[in-house]
Amino acid sequence: MQGPGGKDQKRQWDETYKQKEFFGSEPSELGQRALQIFKQRGVRKVLELGCGQGRDTWLFLRNGLSVTALDYSETGVCYMRDRSEELCLDKDFVIEMQDARKGIPLPDASFDAVYSHMFFTMELTESEVAAIMEECRRVLRPGGLNMYSVRNFHDPHYGKFTPRGEDMYENPMGFVVHFFDEAKIRRLSSGYEIEWIREFDDTSPPFVKKLYEVMLRKV
């Protein structure tokens, strides 16, 4: 992914994931909430988009969930494969290198839930997000959950730094960030029932971010 005049985002993430635990080693607050909800709803099979270095993946696996993860960073995917073996968590774990803009190469109705933390805040246009949302809906079983987070217009970085189009800005670290308001989330929820849209603070490194937690259910 590369915006006009911007840094190549895939290369940016490949370089970032050469650093150990860029986002920290502890599970995210969203991941911990997701785990409790998944347990309550009887979720067993989870598709995770943009798993990064696995801070939420390991949480799900350690608590008995089966996880299939997709990420387009070769560095990240190689790290995750090696790390899953080191942690003895590879039994119920599958990871593939895949750019989700090119589709999700998995069978229809094969997952109980899709989970992603800040994946959609990457350099994805609204039309690309809509296409990925439809792919998520396709691979979910009837009544399946799509739980995700996105940075929102209340975030301290919204409207700052270098514009890259469609509510996207490239920050000084070289990352292009897509920000969302509630209207955009609702536009992107076709074919789903919106269970909730909640704002929360994400305190993971390297700074506090303002996010929406979104829970969708396939109808």
**Contacts (Cβ under 8 Å, ≥6 apart) of 200:** 29, 30, 211, 212, 213
- Sign of the C-alpha dihedral computed for residues 51, 55, 56 and 61 taken in this order: positive
Q: How far apart are CA 215 and CA 200, in angstroms?
A: 14
Cβ atoms of residues 147 and 196 within 8 Å: no
Q: How far apart are CA 57 and CA 44, in angstroms?
A: 13
Measured CA to CA in angstroms, residue 61 lies from 16, 54, 182 at distances of: 24, 10, 31
Cβ atoms of residues 114 and 145 within 8 Å: yes
Identify which has the larger pLDDT, 13 or 174.
174
Say what the pLDDT of residue 4 is: 36
Say what the pLDDT of residue 3 is: 39
pTM here?
A: 0.92
- Specify the DSSP class assigned to residue 119: G
Q: Give 117-151 pLDDT, tens digit per residue.
A: 999 999 999 999 999 999 999 999 999 999 999 99
Q: Give 47-81 pLDDT, tens digit per residue.
A: 999 998 899 999 999 999 999 999 998 888 998 99
Q: Give 11-24 pLDDT, tens digit per residue.
A: 777 677 666 666 66
- All structural domains of the chain: 9-18+27-218 (3.40.50.150)
Confidence category of residue 185, pLDDT binned at 50, 70, 90: very high
Say what the pLDDT of residue 1 is: 42
Sole residue written with tokens 């502890």:
26
Say yes or no to pLDDT of 199 above 80.
yes
Would you state the structure tokens that stand for residue 144, as one six-digit string?
Answer: 């399946």
